[in-house]
Structure formats: structure tokens, C-alpha cells
Amino acid sequence: MAKAPVLTPRAEDFPRWYQDLINKAELADNGPVRGTMVIRPYGYGLWERMQQEMDARIKDAGAQNAYFPLFIPQSYLTREAQHVEGFAPELAVVTHGGGKELEEPVVVRPTSETIINDYFSKWVQSYRDLPLLINQWANVVRWEMRPRVFLRTSEFLWQEGHTAHATYEDARDYAARIHRDVYADFMINVLGIDVVLGRKTAKERFAGAINTLTLEGMMGDGKALQMGTSHELGTNFAKAFNTQYLSKDGKQELVWQTSWGVSTRMVGGLIMSHGDDSGLRVPPRLAAVQVVVMAIKGDEAVVKVRELGDRLKAAGLRVQVDDRVDTPFGRRAVDWELKGVPVRIEIGPRDLEAGTAMLARRVPGGKEPVSSDAATLAELLPTILEEDQATLLRQSRERRESRTSDVATLAEAAEAAVAGGWARIPWAELGPEGEAKLAEQAVSVRCLVAEDGSVPDADDAPGTVAIVARAY
């Protein structure tokens, strides 16, 4: 009898494979309240690495970290009409506290534009106070009707940036800088996902924004995942909260603003973009554990892997030693395969005698004998890790290119999306009416791009192309 696979094959049932992987790789569990999740240590380690990489890029862009309250007076949200309308179905509202009914209900933070603007209006007095560039790492709550771990949960973790500028041009350029130099750089060069940069249509724009820039990734099943967004808010929130500054000319002017964010949804994108039927494949630049050094059996092997682990850590690699020889080696190897650690170095009694180790690579697969000398491995491993990082990005790009069709009609666009791919269609041929018709078939316009792949200046810019797909 054939041995049952550890995971449901992706080709058989992609959603089931996704859930199997999250469980078997010990990434997360469902929380006790519907739509919430418990992120387990290995899954949280991935998020911590994402935080570290993103935080460095955000600070390089000039923003500083701060923190704002979880509870927001309900009246704050009503000040910006589009904003409250857009978030109303997702709000969690607290009406009682301390055993008493509250004088004013408070909303559990769905996003922080309103409360941050209340403080921006106090902090900004003069053009000398601008630009004001703030970021916070926090949790938010958006009551989710169709929860899915990491992808759509009622509570999730994220960063949200909020900025105020003296001019429209400065705000526009900063939103584009975050989109390009922070988000795209991270997703392409660290996550290894070849995202498409574009602008959202008016229908898909963030509630209260005048423009939304997005990054869309193609997952293993051909669907699209919105990986992050950067918004131009114009003066909409400045008007609502009276956020003004005294210009160099001595006039009171409204500030121009941006907001931008990415979340733990990126963990879901990582899984669905790079995972295979054996489990997760973690890009080496992201991996919290790049190399696991495993003792197969025997006390001498344990001593060797501990020594080797220390030497490789000292060489700058992120290493974990697995010396649990009381647990069967095969079970441990499968566990690390599921977790997607890029490289395993396996050492047993025979390897000790020969001065070798077995090197297993997760991304391309396969094993090969190598020297167990620490200096030799410290020189070899960085090259291998960079090769595997490049392989994942190449595979992501090739998948997207091979499964994207150029089409001329609405019917062809819908057909391509339903078949499990993306379609590119001139926006002039589609337009808002065609977008609405696609929505009836659970197909959406993910973003608008220029013919050369750049981000168009406006929805109706000449040569604008719509990327059409089914989405998570």
C-alpha cells in the first residue's frame, strides 16, 4: 500500500494543502474566537524577520516609529464620510467597559487614519513641522466574514505609516517611494515574489484616498494576492480634522497626506507563492533559520554538530542545531522539510569517519556529500543560499509570465481568470462597466499598469492596461 502524503497535493485541493501546511509546519492555529489566529513560534519567527527587514527600509525612508491607542472614539470615524462608509461592515465596537455602558462607543482599531490625524492637527503648526513621517507596528481588527489564517483574519498584525506634507507633489512622491523602495524592494529581493506594481481603480481604492498604489503577487494556483498598498489621501482627512500649517507665505494651508501598510498576510503570500507538495520553501534572505545542522545518531555526532553550529553562527549564518537523537531522524528531516529551512547539514557516524556531511537543499531539492570542515562550509553556504534565493524569484516570475494572457475582450479576460491565470486588457476596452461585470463572476481588476509595466499617472492615462484575476 502506498504511503499517504504528508500534505494534500496542491493540484488536488490547493486550499486544503494550504491549511495542511500551516498545521503540519507549526505556523499557526485558529484562535478561540472565530476569525482569530494564534501564531506559533516558527510562524512568528517569519513575521519577525519580515518586521526587521521592513522596519529598516521604513526608517531609511525617514519615518519614525510611534504608537497610538487601540480604542478609537466612534465619532472620529464619522468625520470622514468615505472612510466610515468603507469600514462600517468590518467594525468591532465596544459599548460597555468597567461594568457600565460607555458614554460614547469606541471602535477597536481597524486602521488609524482618524486617531493619528487628531494628533497631527495638534503637532503640525508650521511648514517647519513638515514633512511629518510616522509609522507604527500594531494589531488591527476588521470583523471578517470569511476567515482564513494569515490571509483574512478578524485580528491581524501589521505596520501602518501615516505622513503629512506641505504639497500634493511631496505627498504623491513619498507614497510612490514607499511603494517602490520599501515594499517592492522587500517583496522582490527578500520574499522572492515577483510582484506587479500598479494603481487601484476608483472602485478598489482605499476608503478616503484619492489614489491607491498596490503590489499584486501571483500565487501557486494562479490567483492574485494584494501584498501591500500605499495611499495618497489628498486633503480629505486634513479637512475633517482641520490639520493645517502656516506656510512660508504666512497663509494657513491644509496638509497633504499618505498612509501605507503591509500585514501578516505576507506570511500567507509566502506560503502560497513558494510552497510545494513537501511543505514550505523559505527564501534564504528571509529565513529565521537558514541552516539546520542535524545529528543523525550517536554522541560523537552530537558533539560535532554543536561545534559546527557555533562556528557557522560565528560566520554570520542563522543556524539551528538539531541534536535530538532520541527522536527518529526521518521524522525530524520531514519536519524541517515542511518548515522549508533552506539547507540541512546531516552528520552521522559514517560521516564522522569520512570527515564529510550530507548537504540537503530545500529549494532545488536533492542531497550531496560535502566536507564537514567548518571553514569550508562557511565559505560554501552563502553562495548556495544566494543561488536558492535567485531560484525562487525566477520561479515566481516565470509562473506569472507563463500564466498571464493578453486579451482584447471582457469574455476573454474572464475566461483567463477562471482558468487560473491573469489577463491583461486595455483599460479603455474594459472601463468601470466592464469591471462591474467581471465582479459578478468573482473576477476583479487587481491593478492598472502602463504598457511598459510602470505605474500610470492616472486611471485614464493613454496606454493603461488592467490586470484581471481572481483573488484572495
Each residue's pLDDT tens digit, 355-372: 999 999 999 999 999 999
Q: Which residues contact 88 (CB under 8 A, 6 or more apart)?
A: none
Q: Is the pLDDT of residue 297 over 80?
A: yes
Nearest by Cα to 264 from 67, 13, 22, 23: 22
Q: Could you tell me how many residues make up the chain? A: 472
What pLDDT is recorded for position 243?
A: 95
Q: Is the pLDDT of residue 1 over 60?
A: no
Q: Is the pLDDT of residue 172 over 70?
A: yes
| Percent of residues, the chain, with pLDDT higher than 70 | 98
**CA separation for the pair 381, 313 (Å, rounded):** 12
**CA separation for the pair 52, 45 (Å, rounded):** 11
pLDDT tens digits for range 189-200: 999 999 999 999
Helix (H, G, I), strand (E, B) or coil at 166: coil
Report residue 127's pLDDT band, with 50, 70 and 90 as the boundaries: very high
What pLDDT is recorded for position 83?
A: 66
**CA separation for the pair 113, 236 (Å, rounded):** 11
What pLDDT is recorded for position 84?
A: 65
Q: Is the pLDDT of residue 51 over 70?
A: yes
What pLDDT is recorded for position 87?
A: 74
- Residues 25, 26, 30, 35, CA torsion sign: negative
pLDDT tens digits for range 210-225: 999 999 999 999 999 9
What pLDDT is recorded for position 207?
A: 87
Give the pLDDT mean for 108-129.
95
**CA separation for the pair 109, 240 (Å, rounded):** 18
Q: Is the pLDDT of residue 79 over 90?
A: no
What pLDDT is recorded for position 382?
A: 98
Q: How far is CA 282 from CA 389, 392, 444, in A?
A: 9, 9, 29
Furthest CA-CA distance within the chain: 84
CA 334 to chain centre: 26
